């Protein structure tokens, strides 16, 4: 009998056409799916994130079996579960007569290092297939980046538009004459607008079993399972995609940066968990968005704004992750050292913007981009929290968080830990920005207009203190010339008051 090929399918490789399966005959392969402790606990993932991944894995295994594949599925509570991918590969080699291993490259340095050992460890040929679910290959990104002084997303994004042909006219020019309609993505929202809601999927028996397992086994992990609402199959993810395209996309452009108390989703797609784990295909989604624009169903600022997030930002951060290497996780350009405040795990703070963003994160394992960047991220940045600790928090608490996408967004874009590879200036702001883009401040116990004193919005003093504290590192950044001019023109008494207010606040943290 000919030996079979063992094809491990990891928890974020749930795409039907994953590259490890292409050109393979079901009769010659054993697919291996593994729920293992090493993955569920390498950080303390939010309970709902674990439940989503395990349930989506179990449903995907059933779908693969229906399509004729043999799937060897190891549950987390299986007796003798070895607890790691490598340990489970070893056990699978005892159960099956295997001649070779084939796997799609993993999305993290940590797991790639494991896979690269397998050939020696098991004395079998191991084929690592490129992950074809992205527009840019690693080589494409490196070719683009090579020799450039600055790796700005905008220019990479234009390459991706050219490569995919998305939103280009017949002459290869951008639709509407401009590449980027970012300036038309910044309307604050009002509470009286009717908001579309994402579909709340009811747990089936498979999901319920996983929810019970997670509740029991991960009771010390952050977050709640009470509001679990995720799609866990390809069909359900497609229903949420339809819901977004039909009811939210048209206004996504206008309100992309808006925040409202009690409205966690606004006009966002809530599709990132499905895009990142493989239930949805990013390019196919972008093509439908471009088609809706071509059919006059959605405005250009919405279509372009959405497509930019996916073939621009999403592809760009992946390129940076693999180009910069595993040490990127430890960069700390501003030498920030403060530990993460406890309220990131409880939401228990009287700063309303933070309690809203963190509260919904703990309930739903979801927050939208501006909450992540300008509320929780901004606060950590201006309070001088250690960027590695901030990175671990984001990796834990969001269902869409895998290191390739989370780390560059957090450590690079949000915390300026890489010294400006991703962001041309730190995303630091006072309460003014939050007041402009949300309705939080009106109901907050702090006064966003006051800069010092016990009732002043803490973001205000922290913002100026951040600039003053990091003047040596940041003063030559052209994009900060204006705030530094303002700071240097301030009366010394006011400067001292701001710095004292910030110090007193940080002391209380
Ligand atoms: P929408 O607003 O509807 O956007 C559509 C899609 O665009 C998203 O589903 C996502 O796939 C993509 N997208 C948008 N912005 C980005 C971005 N900056 N980078 C990569 N993809 C993007 N996104 C993740 O997928 N995983 C993460 O772990 C993650 N961590 C983040 C950490 C920080 C500090 C910040 C500032 C952003 C992070 N993002 C992350 C990006 C972004 O916040 C989420 O993709 C988005 O909020 C997901 O919600 P949505 O599907 O409703 O997105
Ligand atoms: C995130 C995660 C979790 C919580 N659990 C598992 C698991 O039990 N089995 C699995 O195959 N994958 C899991 N994952 C996703 C993996 O961590 C992810 O596939 C790797 O990090 C590679 O990106
Ligand atoms: Fe946040 Fe300050 Fe506004 Fe309160 S006043 S919601 S702390 S920005």
461 — pLDDT class (breaks 50, 70, 90):
very high
182 — pLDDT class (breaks 50, 70, 90):
confident
Residues of the chain with CATH 1.25.40.80: 138-196+248-323
CA 402 / ligand 2 centre spacing (Å) = 9
Residue 446 alpha carbon, nearest atom of ligand 3: 5
Which tens digit of pLDDT belongs to each residue from 123-167?
A: 999 999 999 999 999 999 999 999 999 999 999 999 999 999 999
Mean pLDDT value across residues 160-185: 93
Mean pLDDT of the chain: 97
Residues of the chain with CATH 3.40.50.620: 4-129
Which tens digit of pLDDT belongs to each residue from 485-502?
A: 999 999 999 999 999 999
Measured from the Cβ of residue 122, the count of other Cβ atoms closer than 10 Å reads 17
Nearest ligand, CA of residue 461? 3
Q: Whose CA is nearest to atom 3 of ligand 3?
A: 441
Q: What superfamily in CATH does domain 342-508 come from?
A: DNA Cyclobutane Dipyrimidine Photolyase, subunit A, domain 3 (1.10.579.10)
Q: Whose CA is nearest to atom 21 of ligand 1?
A: 314
Instruction: Describe the crossing of helices 282-294 and 234-247 by its angle, rounded to 10 degrees.
Output: 30
Query: For 325-372, where are the alpha helices, taking DSSP H only?
Result: 352-364, 369-370
Which tens digit of pLDDT belongs to each residue from 421-444?
A: 999 999 999 999 999 999 999 999
CA 254 / ligand 1 centre spacing (Å) = 17
What string of DSSP letters covers 212-269? Answer: HHHHHHTTTSSS-STT-----SHHHHHHHHHHHHHHTHHHHHHHTT-BBTTBS-TT--
Q: Whose CA is nearest to atom 7 of ligand 3?
A: 351
Q: Cα 467 to the chain's mean position, in Å?
A: 27
What is the percent of the chain where pLDDT is above 90? 95
Q: Which residues contact 146 (CB under 8 A, 6 or more apart)?
A: none
- Residue 253 clears pLDDT 90, i.e. is over it: no
192 — pLDDT class (breaks 50, 70, 90):
confident
What is the rounded CA–CA span in Å between residue 3 and residue 172? 50
Residue 13 alpha carbon, nearest atom of ligand 2: 19
Are residues 198 and 270 in contact, defined by beta-carbon separation less than 8 angstroms? yes
Q: Measuring CA to CA, which residue among 482, 242, 477, 224 is closest to residue 345? A: 224
Residues of the chain with CATH 1.10.579.10: 342-508
Q: Which residue in the block uniquely carries the two structure tokens 């397998």? A: 118
What is the percent of the chain where pLDDT is above 70? 100
Q: Tell me which of 3.40.50.620, 3.90.1300.10, 2.60.40.10, 1.20.59.20 is the CATH number of domain 4-129.
A: 3.40.50.620
What is the rounded CA–CA span in Å between residue 277 and residue 402? 9
Q: Whose CA is nearest to atom 1 of ligand 2?
A: 39
Mean pLDDT value across residues 9-28: 97
CA 358 / ligand 3 centre spacing (Å) = 14
The predicted pLDDT at position 97 comes to 98
Half-sphere exposure in the Cβ direction for 222 (13 Å, CA):
27
Tokens (6 digits) for 465: 């203190």
Which tens digit of pLDDT belongs to each residue from 275-299?
A: 999 999 999 999 999 999 999 999 9
What is the rounded CA–CA span in Å between residue 437 and residue 114? 44
Q: Cα 247 to the chain's mean position, in Å?
A: 23
The predicted pLDDT at position 186 comes to 75
**CATH code of the domain occupying 138-196+248-323:** 1.25.40.80
């Amino acid at each position: 009998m000919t030996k079979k090929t063992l094809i491990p399918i990891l928890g974020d490789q749930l795409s039907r056409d994953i590259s490890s399966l292409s050109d393979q005959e079901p009769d010659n392969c054993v697919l291996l799916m593994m729920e293992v402790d090493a993955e569920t606990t390498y950080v303390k993932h939010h309970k709902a994130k674990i439940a989503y991944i395990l349930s989506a894995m179990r449903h995907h295994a059933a779908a693969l079996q229906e399509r004729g594949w043999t799937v060897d599925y190891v549950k987390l509570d299986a007796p003798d579960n070895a607890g790691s991918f490598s340990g489970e590969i070893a056990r699978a080699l005892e159960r099956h007569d295997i001649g070779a291993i084939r796997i799609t490259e993993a999305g993290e340095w940590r797991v790639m290092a494991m896979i690269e050992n397998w050939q020696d460890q098991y004395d079998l040929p191991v084929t690592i297939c490129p992950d074809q679910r992205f527009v840019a290959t690693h080589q494409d990104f490196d070719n683009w980046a090579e020799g450039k002084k600055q790796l700005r997303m905008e220019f990479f994004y234009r390459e991706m538009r050219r490569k995919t042909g998305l939103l280009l006219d017949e002459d290869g020019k951008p639709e509407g004459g401009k590449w980027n309609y970012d300036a038309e993505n910044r309307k604050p929202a009002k509470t009286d607008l009717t908001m579309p809601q994402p579909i709340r999927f009811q747990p089936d028996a498979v999901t319920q079993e996983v929810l019970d397992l997670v509740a029991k086994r991960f009771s010390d992990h952050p977050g709640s399972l009470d509001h679990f609402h995720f799609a866990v199959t390809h069909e359900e993810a497609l229903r949420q995609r339809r819901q977004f395209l039909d009811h939210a996309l048209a206004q996504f452009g206008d309100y992309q940066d808006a925040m409202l108390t009690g409205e966690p989703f606004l006009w966002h797609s809530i599709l990132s968990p499905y895009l990142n784990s493989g239930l949805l295909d990013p390019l196919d989604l972008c093509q439908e968005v471009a088609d809706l624009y071509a059919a006059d169903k959605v405005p250009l600022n919405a279509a372009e704004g959405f497509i930019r997030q996916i073939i621009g930002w999403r592809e760009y951060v992946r390129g940076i992750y693999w180009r910069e290497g595993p040490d990127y996780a430890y960069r700390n350009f501003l030498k920030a050292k403060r530990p993460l405040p406890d309220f990131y795990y409880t939401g228990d703070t009287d700063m309303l913007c933070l309690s809203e963003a963190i509260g919904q994160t703990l309930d739903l394992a979801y927050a939208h981009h501006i909450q992540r960047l300008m509320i929780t991220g901004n606060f950590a940045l201006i309070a001088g929290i250690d960027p590695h600790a901030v990175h671990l928090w984001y990796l834990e608490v969001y269902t869409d968080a895998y290191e390739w996408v989370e780390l560059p967004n957090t450590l690079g874009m949000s915390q300026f830990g890489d010294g400006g590879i991703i962001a041309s200036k730190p995303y630091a702001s006072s309460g003014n920005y939050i007041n402009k883009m949300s309705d939080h401040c009106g109901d907050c116990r702090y006064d966003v207009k006051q800069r010092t004193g016990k009732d002043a919005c803490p973001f205000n003093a922290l913002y100026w203190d951040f600039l003053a504290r990091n003047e040596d590192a940041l003063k030559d950044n052209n994009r900060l010339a204006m705030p530094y001019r303002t700071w240097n023109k301030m009366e010394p008494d006011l400067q001292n008051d701001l710095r004292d207010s910030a110090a007193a606040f940080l002391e209380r943290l």
